[in-house]
Amino acid sequence: MVRKRENAVFLTCDYSRPAPPLVLKGGRVIDPVNDIDRVAHVVCAEGSIVGVVDEVPARFADAQTIDATGKWVVPGLVDMHVHLREPGREDKETIATGTRAAAAGGFTAVACMPNTQPALDEESKIRYVIQRGEHCPSRIYPVGAITKGLEGEELAPIGEMVHAGARAVTDDGRSVARTNIMRNALNYSKSFNIPVICHCEDTAISWKGHMNEGVFSTRLGVRGIPTIAEEIVVARDLLLAEYTGARIHIAHVSTAGSVRLVREAKARGVNVTAETCPHYIALIDEDIGMYDTDKKMNPPLRTDRDRAAVIAGVADNTIDVVASDHAPHVPEEKDVEFEAAAFGVIGLETSLGVILTFMVHRGLLSPQQLVERMSVAPNRILGLGRGSLSPGDCADLTIIDPKARWTVDARRFHSKSRNTAFEGMKLQGYAGGTIVGGYAVFNRNV
Ligand SMILES: [Zn+2]
């Protein structure tokens, strides 16, 4: 089924049927895993990569062709931190609209968080999400809950959820407050070789806070969330990971102190990976201006010093992954006074443009490193078995137009929600096309 919207085309695919041959012609092919960075053609057939070639073999002369001249062709980008709100809040987002937004943002796969209503805390709910995502334009990998109902009291059946297809566990949205429960979760997840994704927040300290605690929150008269609310739990979870030998992934790192803690833990061999989000790279607390609720998220925007440390962490690979923390909300939850507004911003359709604009085009991150942070690392952490263009690999690819200049206009988003922190921002670069299993599921310029 083809669904047209403005100048873009989305396909809804039956991925179980072999995709017809497809050739991406003349792009700059960037594949850090195979150390490829040159202008070439990428040939795909039956859902797999045939090869990165200088001459297209004669037998593919009649294949569907996409002209990638002037663009980058890279292994499909993966956003490992999104909230798709289904089941329960389909007024904010659905698996169908969220995966269209993902494809339009260049993501061939997303990992969705379990804080739905009800929470994804048992096998049947994991299966439900996977089944709902089957024909969507982006692949969907559910993350299961650590505790039943995300209530922090009783472990969810982690083994059964992993068996059903969960790629990680988290209580994202809140920390697991009880250290003994977190320790048990780490020990369990270790036996299934999955990461525990840590939302690090000591709510005894952050409680009733709405933005970063500092000079600017004082000026606005808004109760703050200090950096230490995040860092105390980052430190705890790093110690627990070190003690148990389990694998942890620190979600949405926002402070200089968290970056330092992760860097030190990695240096002494702790099994940790970390992520940050585009808004912590591009914005600071002062951008909240006069109580802009579309810049309210958790953890909150921090200071310029924190932002610089986060950028340095992404550049030196202390922070392995950039993920959006796409968190859709309806206007009724944002068009209210600052203290009453919901935490969270959407990001699937702006992530790539923000990272290109604020890091790659400023010389802070190479194009290869961008592919590592947005494709190779999330693939590795979640064990998806993709993120490279070797012959036989799955034909999940993103075509990046690094030069296109555009202005963020939420009305044009494919997401159901509009709560972006980047409205009106001028960006350079976006996804020109998204290919999943050899199907061109999104093509911007049709
Ligand atoms: Zn979170």
**% of residues, the chain, pLDDT over 90:** 95
Q: In Å, what is the CA distance from 250 to each residue of 226, 262, 320, 351?
A: 18, 9, 10, 19
pLDDT of residue 8: 61
Query: Looking at residues 384-400, what average pLDDT do you find?
Result: 97
- For residue 172, report the distance from its CA to the centre of ligand 1, in Å: 4
Question: Nearest 5°: phi and psi at 189?
Answer: -65, -30
What Rg, from alpha-carbon coordinates, does the chain have?
21
Rounded to 5°, angle at Cα 406 from 404 and 409: 150
pLDDT digits (tens, 9 = 90+) for 336-373: 999 999 999 999 999 999 999 999 999 999 999 999 99
Task: Please tell me the pTM assigned to this model.
Answer: 0.96
- For residue 251, report the distance from its CA to the centre of ligand 1, in Å: 6
**% of residues, the chain, pLDDT over 70:** 97
Query: Looking at residues 82-101, what average pLDDT do you find?
Result: 96
Q: Is the pLDDT of residue 126 over 50?
A: yes
Which residue type does 209 have? G
Torsion of CA 255, 256, 257, 260, to 10 degrees: 130
Q: Which residue's entry shows tokens 């939420």? A: 410
Which residue type does 269 have? G
Query: Looking at residues 12-21, what average pLDDT do you find?
Result: 82
Question: Nearest 5°: phi and psi at 80?
Answer: -90, 15
Q: Is the pLDDT of residue 5 over 80?
A: no
pLDDT digits (tens, 9 = 90+) for 321-344: 999 999 999 999 999 999 999 999
* Annotation marks residue 393 as catalytic: no
Average confidence score pLDDT of the chain: 96
- For residue 152, report the distance from its CA to the centre of ligand 1, in Å: 15
Q: Delineate the domains of the chain, giving CATH numbers in brackets.
A: 2-73+391-443 (2.30.40.10), 75-382 (3.20.20.140)
- For residue 113, report the distance from its CA to the centre of ligand 1, in Å: 9
pLDDT digits (tens, 9 = 90+) for 161-183: 999 999 999 999 999 999 999 99
Q: Which residue's entry shows tokens 């443009």? A: 353
CA–CA dist 345, 110 (Å, integer): 16
Q: Is the pLDDT of residue 226 over 90?
A: yes
- For residue 298, report the distance from its CA to the centre of ligand 1, in Å: 7
pLDDT digits (tens, 9 = 90+) for 25-43: 999 999 999 999 999 999 9
- Asked if residue 129 lies in contact with residue 140, where contact means CB atoms within 8 angstroms, the answer is yes
- Among the listed residues 79, 171, 320, 325, the single catalytic one is 325
pLDDT of residue 16: 79
Q: Is the pLDDT of residue 7 over 80?
A: no
